[in-house]
Structure 1
Amino acid sequence: MPGPTEWRTGPPHAADLVGVGPHPRPWPDDPRLDPALLEVGDARNVVDAYRYWRRDAIVADLDARRHPFHVAIENFAHDANIGTVVRTANAFAAQAVHIVGRRRWNRRGAMVTDRYQHLHHHPHVPALLTAAAEHDLVVVAVDNLPGARPLETVALPRRTLLLFGQESIGVTDAAREGAAFTVSIAQFGSTRSINAGVAAGIAMHAWIRQHADLDRAW
């Protein structure tokens, strides 16, 4: 059988070396596997351990691996970074992603990871804060604001909700006032701020470095 990066339908091309081909028969007797994928191959954006698995089986397995931190991003102006935030949250096995404001968002940057990540919508910040309190989550806003604590030195709560604002304008006043505290990311160049999707990845990885069991990483 072709290796995990050696197959995709159509003629071979460097950009197409993704996935695995049809599984040789006899097929494994495993209820997690999708007969359709076994038949034609699996070129999805999933780690090799999940090749040929049904989507619901992947989500169930991820649910047993997820970390107790949540991520929220404000979406009052159709921020194009939301897809990137969802994709990164999936990579770090966040418990859930919360989108505050507009329900619709650009899924292109998520690279289909939204199918495997729990997503919740809240019409405004007070609704998000209520949900966080109900789940005993400490809300930590991430923005370069006066009085913010350096992310590089702060101890993030294990059960936390990392809250990000929109590109260019940062977190709203309601988000900043509702958070337990705000953290900032150290910068050393000329730019006033860094991309919101990048900032989210840095903050999530800071949580991973402090709390995750690295022996469980793929």
Structure 2
Amino acid sequence: MPHGPPEVGVGPWEGPWPEGEEYDAALLAEGDRRNVVDRYRYWTLEAIVADLDTRRHGFHVAIENWQHDFNIGTVVRTANAFLAAEVHIVGNRRWNKRGAMVTDRYQHVRHHPTVADLASYLSGLDVALWGVDNLPGSLPLETTEVPRDVCFLFGQEGPGLSESAREACDATFSIAQFGSTRSINASAAAAIAMHSWVRAHADLSGETAWRG
């Protein structure tokens, strides 16, 4: 295959089965074709989530969902890749999960009817609420010190942050652009913001970070 192996994952376990309650007997017998890193091959879903919970980072990510934004699934997938504490869906409870590529099973996803509800929840955790949108008066994200405990909030694709979201945020931050377009995709903006936290606070030593 010129662009990778013909199958994702691994086949049935060869040789004596490993011991440990983290292993899934069905996966050991039939193979593990899930999109997970090698350290989690043959593990149960519950065991993977439990292990991730011991290492989750201090940032959260939230996105408004007034028009069933198709970007939410991609945001969830990226949040899983960067090991966000939680993902928050504000507005409509239902969202398109296709872009998540099943990563929502490994990521804590919470729903809040309004931005005020989200702000109240984060206040109880002492987590700052930062809006990310290219608005007049927004501070440049690139030159701002990102706090360890923060939630990045994004608006709908197109209209951006709602008025109620802007009022609820502790501050809003912009991402520098140099071309002709007025904005970048919401999921791309979320990835940039999450990676700004990773660069500032994540442990990049040893085998903590997976790079393929």
Q: TM-score, normalised by structure 1?
A: 0.93
Partner residue in 2 for 1:113: 103
Q: Give 1:25 deviation, angstroms.
A: 2.6
Aligned mates of 2:142, 2:131 — CA distance in 1: 14
- Give me the whole-angstrom Cα distance separating, in 2, the residues matched to 1:145 and 1:188: 16
The reply to whether residue 54 of structure 1 matches residue 44 of structure 2 is: yes
Alignment of 1:145-164 (within 5 A): 145-164=135-154
Query: Structure 2: any 5+ residue segments left out of the alignment?
Result: none
Helix, strand or coil: the match of 2:199?
A: helix
Which runs of structure 2 are paired with 1:32-47 in the superposition (5 Å)? Answer: 32-47=22-37
SS at match of 1:73: strand
What is the aligned partner in structure 1 of residue 58 from structure 2? Answer: 68
Equivalent position to 2:112, from 115, 122, 125: 122
Q: Identify the residue that residue 137 of structure 1 maps to in structure 2.
A: 127
Superposed CA deviations along residues 3-52 of structure 1, whole A, max 9, x for unmatched, are: xxx9xxxxxx9573310000013101121010000000001011111000
Q: Separation in 2 of the partners of 1:125 and 1:169? A: 16
User: Any gaps of 5 or more consecutive residues in structure 1?
Assistant: 1-5, 7-12
Deviating beyond 6 angstroms after TM superposition, the runs of 4 or more aligned structure 1 residues are none
- Greater mean alpha carbon deviation, residues 173-182 or residues 198-207: 173-182
Question: Alignment partner of 1:214: what SS?
Answer: coil
Matched AA of 1:24? E
1:74 is matched by which residue type in structure 2? Answer: E
| Residue 10 of structure 2, aligned match among 20, 33, 50 | 20
1:104 aligns with 2:94: yes
Q: So what's the TM-score if we normalise by structure 2?
A: 0.95
Question: 2: distance between equivalents of 1:214 and 1:91?
Answer: 14
194, 209, 212: which one aligns with 1:217: 209
Instruction: Give, in whole Å, the separation in 2 of the partners of 1:17 and 1:56.
Output: 24
What is the CA RMSD across the aligned residues, in angstroms? 1.3
Deviation at 1:101, TM superposition (A): 0.2
